[in-house]
Amino acid sequence: MQRRILLLIKGLGRGGAEQLLASSAVHTDRARFEYEVAYLLPNKSAVASELRGADIVVHCLDGASGVAWIGRLRSLVRRRRIDMIHAHSPVAAVGARLAFDGRGPRQVYTEHNVWDRYHPITYWANALTFPRSDHVFAVSDHVRESIRYPRGLRALRMPSVETLYHGIDPGSIEGWTSVDGVREELGIPEDAPVVGTVANFKRHKRLDVLLRAADRVRREVPEVRFVMVGQGPLEAETRRLARDLGLERTVLFTGFRDDAPRVASAFDVFAISSEFEGLSIAVIEALALGKPVVVTDVGGLPEVVEDGRQGFVVPARDPASLAERIVRLLGDPLERQRMGEAGRARAATFDIRRSVARIERVYEELLA
């Protein structure tokens, strides 16, 4: 018998958790499970069309003004005869737990972030309702280890929590391995070394640190180009800092690109400067493309990148260390090649098909 799963998330903007839903959709077992998606914020809907293109029904609960969406969630679950809710953000998860209080559909939760990064209200609401989850996936060991009740709540039941690394569809990368036309399109000279990143322009990505590293790198490698792929609330601020640092000829901003892996295939080095991170799919994509990476020592990044093997791991908020490792890689083509080959092998262990299969086994066990 086919069981109905509702994937519940705060928004469907272009973030890691949101893109994960779209990437997972094509690998789900539709013979056993029928999937629908519900989201709260009507102004965050960019990924909705991708989900609908995968024949998934998408509902907006319109949670932008208050908590009335919880009632709409109850109605949706009854009307659509939902068997399981799988929440992908704490606000959505808290609402679902309060809506049914153990008397409705089974509830699974994926934790994408470390607990101490949440706003205090979100943190406490998540912790107080956490026992109502039937099973929890954490996207990295670092995230899993952060899931601890504060002292006053330690008598509460802790649901089963497991680390489940999500990943990429290896087949999707195969179509982006050609760099033909990327440099010409971006106006980059053929012989210029390229360092790039793919990121949401948000505070925790610390793109200011990457720009300050770029300023140092260009002193050693004047012909270098840095490419920043993405968009977000701090895009104007980031562009302004690049101008203030005199990086207009060094740094290129592409905005959002639905062919981001194709653009990244033209990079010589991939860099990420986050001050916290659950698990970066962009880094895994870069490894799959055979790019050496330089990442910060935060969140799940050191669980993906082994320092000195697929790239380098440097301290967060340290542009000097970031720049030093980038310069080293730009100056050593053989090391870049060695790390790139190791990166491809490493990326193969982060296969989204395996993570989807594991999630569906848990669904099956809970619904048996």
Residue 15: which domain range? 3-167+351-367
Q: Do 51 and 155 share a domain, yes or no?
A: yes
User: Can you tell me the distance from the alpha carbon of 120 to that of 74, in angstroms, rounded to the nearest whole number?
Assistant: 26
Q: Please give the span between the terminal C-alpha atoms of the chain, in angstroms, as a whole number.
A: 11
Whether the Cβ atoms of residue 287 and residue 293 lie closer than 8 Å to each other = yes
pTM of the model: 0.91
Q: Do 198 and 269 share a domain, yes or no?
A: yes
Digits of tens for pLDDT over the chain (368 positions)?
899 999 999 999 887 788 888 889 889 999 999 999 999 999 999 899 999 999 999 999 998 778 999 999 999 999 999 999 999 999 999 999 999 976 889 999 999 999 999 999 999 999 999 999 999 999 999 999 999 999 999 999 999 999 999 989 887 777 666 667 889 999 999 899 999 999 999 999 999 999 999 999 999 999 999 999 999 999 999 999 999 999 999 999 999 998 888 999 999 999 999 998 888 999 999 999 999 999 999 999 999 999 999 999 999 999 999 999 999 999 999 999 999 999 999 999 999 999 999 999 999 999 99
Q: Which long-range contacts (CB under 8 A, 24 or more apart) does 107-110 make?
A: 107/132, 107/133, 107/134, 108/84, 108/133, 108/134, 108/135, 108/136, 108/137, 108/359, 108/362, 108/363, 108/366, 109/133, 109/135, 109/136, 109/137, 110/17, 110/86, 110/136, 110/137, 110/138, 110/139, 110/164
161 bridge partner residues: 136
Q: Do 18 and 52 share a domain, yes or no?
A: yes
CATH number of the domain residue 99 falls in: 3.40.50.2000
183: buried, middle or exposed (CB in 10 Å: 19+, 13-18, 0-12)?
middle
Tally of structural domains, the chain: 2
User: Can you tell me the distance from the alpha carbon of 362 to that of 316, in angstroms, rounded to the nearest whole number?
Assistant: 36
